[in-house]
Amino acid sequence: MIRIAACLVLSVAAAAPDDIVPPAAPPAKQPPAAPPADGNAPPAKAPAQPVSLPPTNAKWLDKLDPLDRAALDAARGWRMPPLPTGGTWLGDAPDAAALKGKVVLIQSFTSADASTKAMLGKAATTAKQALADGDLVLIGLHTPEGADGAAKALRKPAAPTLVDSTGAVCDELGVFRSPVNVLIDRDGTVRYAGLSSSGLKAAIKELCAESPRGTEAPSRPAAAAGPAQADLPAPNDAVDSRFKQDRRGQPAPTFYVESWLTPTPDPSGKVLVIDFWATWCVPCVAAVPHMNELQAHYGDQVVVVGVTSEAPDACRTGMNSQSLRMNYAIASDRSGGMSSFYGVGGIPACVVVTSDGIVRWQGAPNGLTAALLDPIVKANREWCAKAGAAMKDGRWAKALKDAPDRPVQGGSKGGSKRY
């Protein structure tokens, strides 16, 4: 069975365990001092601001989901966070003196996945000349996924590697599950993040050619709380008659399917469209071209998932007999848990959920028009950008609390993974 957290709902602060005794009440605060006699109060201290940086060359950027990109961009312009020398390191932890005046490349990865594990070695290859010249220091950042087995899996890492089992350093840098690079200039300022291989090579060349400016960027302050929900109006019409339950405006349940017929999709930062369908349903089959067009039109801003109550083999047989080609994810769930929650009384029936975990629409596939989806996609994108900037504290803490056993992103045919 597979449960996936399809809707990424951010929670910066975790509740305290029940068995922790609350601290004694703090002493009463003293009243503020009276302002000077002339009535001129001392000026308030301006909040810290990151170093102003131009936008990254779009050709240098790797393709990432909107939430990951927003979180990385929020770290640019701030001082590189201190690396804990007392943490779990594979190899010798670099001290501050070794990093001073150097360009620093941090490559995130996990040893729990073979292709992701190789990213540190690929980064070393890309930075080979700068490493040989002594201009750059490479540091591996192992994410919490697979952290327990990192020492065994990485006997000789390509660079000193911090095993960030709590995700604290990852959150500071905006690093989540996807392997990414973070490039820090000679003054210790986070300059680039989430670059492609060619973009990384160009950025390393640029930063290594620079001389230290002698100015230090401020440390990144604690993040303010992000928006609770995307800015969308509440529905004022009756729900489509094929649904017995109107869940619009309510939190969506955990996405649940028994098995995948396609690779497992990643809905993080995207609008999720769930299509309840079956191969024996004539209107469902007729709607397949429309769902294909919808997925193609919105690209990585929308994830379409077709959920059938048929057994996997029966669904595959039905698809093959009708030569159906779905360019979106397909899953089988005979339990009917999700369809029951939404009160699906007839198919095809579609549900739209935004990244804040709220159900936004219920209806028939032909109701999924640009007029309906464009404002939802736009509001979702804006919410992700604001929420991404607020994910410095707690993104990994929430992920580990909600799904401590979740493996690396990416599915396999047949779908034997949860995420």
pLDDT per residue over 273-325, tens digit each? 999 999 999 999 999 999 999 999 999 899 999 999 999 999 999 999 999 99
CATH code for the domain of 281 = 3.40.30.10
Distances in Å between the alpha carbon of 113 and those of 24, 74, 151, 178, 409?
A: 46, 27, 14, 11, 9
Domain match, 84 and 157 both: yes
Question: Looking at the structure, do residues 262 and 163 belong to the same domain, yes or no?
Answer: no
Which residues make beta-bridge pairs with 308?
277, 332
Q: What is the pLDDT of residues 366-387, one digit of tens each?
A: 999 999 999 999 999 988 887 7
The verdict on 131 and 264 lying in the same domain is: no
DSSP state of 256: E
Q: Considering the domain boundaries, does residue 193 fall inside one?
A: yes
Domain total of the chain: 2
Confidence (pLDDT) at 13: 32
Q: Are residues 197 and 99 part of one domain?
A: yes
| Measured CA angle at 383 (ends 377, 389), to 5 deg | 140
Q: What pTM value is reported for the model?
A: 0.60
CB atoms under 10 Å from CB of 207, counted, come to: 22
Pick 207 or 388 by higher pLDDT.
207
Q: Could you tell me if residue 30 is inside a domain?
A: no
Q: Is the pLDDT of residue 364 over 70?
A: yes
Q: Say which range, 42-51, 252-261, 402-411, has the weakest mean pLDDT.
A: 402-411
> Residue 20 pLDDT > 50, yes or no?
no
Do 197 and 260 belong to one domain? no
**Eight-state DSSP code of residue 195:** B
> Residue 409's pLDDT is what?
38
pLDDT at 10 over 90: no
Give the tokens for residue 191: 């300059």
Q: Please list, residue by residue across 297-325, b when 16 or more beta carbons sit within 10 angstroms of its beta carbon and e when fewer do.
A: ebeebbbbbbbbbbebebbbebbeeeebe
Of 268, 254, 264, residue with least CA distance to 395: 268
Burial 161-175, CB ≥16 within 10 A → b, else e: bbbbbebbbbbbbbb
Query: Among candidates 56, 49, 80, which has minimal Cα distance to 189?
Result: 80
pLDDT in the model for residue 388 = 67
Predicted local distance difference test score (pLDDT) of residue 41:
58
In a shared domain, residues 185 and 324: no
- Give yes or no: residues 195 and 289 share one domain: no
More confident residue, 366 or 402: 366
Torsion sign, CA atoms 169, 171, 176, 180 = negative
Q: Name the residue with higher pLDDT: 17 or 220.
A: 220
Q: Is the pLDDT of residue 401 over 90?
A: no
| Burial of residue 284, with CB atoms counted within 10 A of its CB: 0-12 exposed, 13-18 middle, 19 or more buried | buried
Q: Which domain holds residue 379?
A: 255-390
Q: In b/e form, how buried is each residue of 328-363, taking b as 16+ CB within 10 angstroms?
A: bbbbbbeeeebbebbebeebbbbbbbbbbbbbbbbb
Nearest to 327 by CA among 294, 351, 283, 350: 294
Same domain, 159 and 259: no
Q: Is residue 331 part of a domain?
A: yes
* DSSP helix/strand/coil, 266: coil
Under DSSP, the state recorded for 39 is: S
| pLDDT exceeds 70 at position 37 | no
- Residue 268: the pLDDT is 79
Assess whether the previous peptide bond of 348 is cis (omega < 30° from 0).
Answer: yes
- Does residue 416 register a pLDDT over 70? no
**Domain-located, residue 373:** yes
pLDDT digits (tens, 9 = 90+) for 172-205: 899 988 999 999 999 999 999 999 999 999 999 9
Question: What pLDDT is recorded for position 96?
Answer: 84
User: What pLDDT, on a 0 to 100 scale, did the predictor assign at position 198?
Assistant: 96
Residue 389 predicted with pLDDT over 80: no
Best CA proximity match to 50, nearest among 24, 80, 5, 22: 80
Q: Which residue has the higher pLDDT, 367 or 415?
A: 367
> Do 261 and 170 fall within a single domain?
no
pLDDT > 90 fraction of the chain, expressed in percent and rounded:
59
pLDDT of residue 282: 97
Question: 42-99 pLDDT, tens per residue?
Answer: 566 677 889 999 999 999 999 988 888 888 998 999 999 988 877 799 998 888 888 9
* The last residue of a domain, from among 175, 193, 209: 209
For range 24-40, the mean pLDDT? 46
Q: What is the rounded average pLDDT of the residues 236-257?
A: 92
Residue 57 contacts residue 206 (beta carbons within 8 Å): no
pLDDT band of residue 394 (cuts 50, 70, 90) is: low
Question: How many angstroms from the chain centroid is the CA of residue 406?
Answer: 14
Residue 217 belongs to some domain of the structure: no
Read off the pLDDT band of 227 (50, 70, 90): confident
Q: What percentage of the chain carries pLDDT values higher than 70? A: 81
pLDDT of residue 30: 44
Are residues 298 and 198 located together in one domain of the fold?
Answer: no
Q: Is there a domain that residue 43 lies in?
A: no
Are 269 and 378 members of one domain?
Answer: yes
Q: In this model, does residue 126 exceed pLDDT 60?
A: yes
Same domain, 290 and 373: yes
Is the pLDDT at 6 greater than 50? The verdict is no
Please provide the average confidence, as pLDDT, over all residues in the chain: 84
Q: Is residue 49 part of a domain?
A: no
- Domain presence at residue 304: yes
**Ranges assigned E (strand) in 124-228:** 136-142, 161-163, 181-184, 190-193
Asked whether the predicted pLDDT for residue 403 surpasses 80, the reply is no
d(CA 135, CA 159): 15
Distance CA 393, CA 169 (A): 10
